[in-house]
């Protein structure tokens, strides 16, 4: 029997936003979790860039996130 460990690759994307309060951040997290239930999503609103962080084991639909922001009059842009 082998003692090989299996590692799954995690993709992380970081976005700069204009989200100014926790209530809006919670709504965005709820909306995105409905669209992408496999994503782990959180905000760092104390950061000057109001960071949205998304983590996934199956890739991240960056264009889908940007489209969501445009449809909801938000500014969300990927940080490279």
In the chain, domain spans = 20-78
Does 7 score more than 70 pLDDT? no
Each residue's pLDDT tens digit, 32-77: 999 999 999 999 999 999 999 999 999 999 999 999 999 999 999 9
Which residues are CB-contacts of 17 (< 8 A; sequence separation ≥ 6)?
Answer: 43, 49, 50, 51, 52, 69, 74, 75, 76, 77
Does 4 score more than 90 pLDDT? no
Does 16 score more than 60 pLDDT? yes
Tell me the helix, strand and coil percentages in the chain, rounded to 5.
30, 25, 45
What is the value of pTM for the model shown?
0.88
pLDDT at 15: 98
């Amino acid at each position: 029997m082998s003692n090989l460990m299996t590692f799954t690759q995690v993709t992380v994307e970081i976005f700069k936003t204009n989200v100014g309060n926790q209530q809006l951040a919670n709504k965005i997290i709820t909306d995105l979790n409905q669209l992408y239930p496999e994503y782990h999503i959180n905000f760092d609103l104390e950061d000057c860039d109001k960071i949205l962080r998304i983590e996934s084991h199956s890739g991240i639909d960056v264009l889908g996130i940007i489209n969501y922001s445009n449809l909801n009059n938000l500014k969300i842009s990927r940080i490279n």
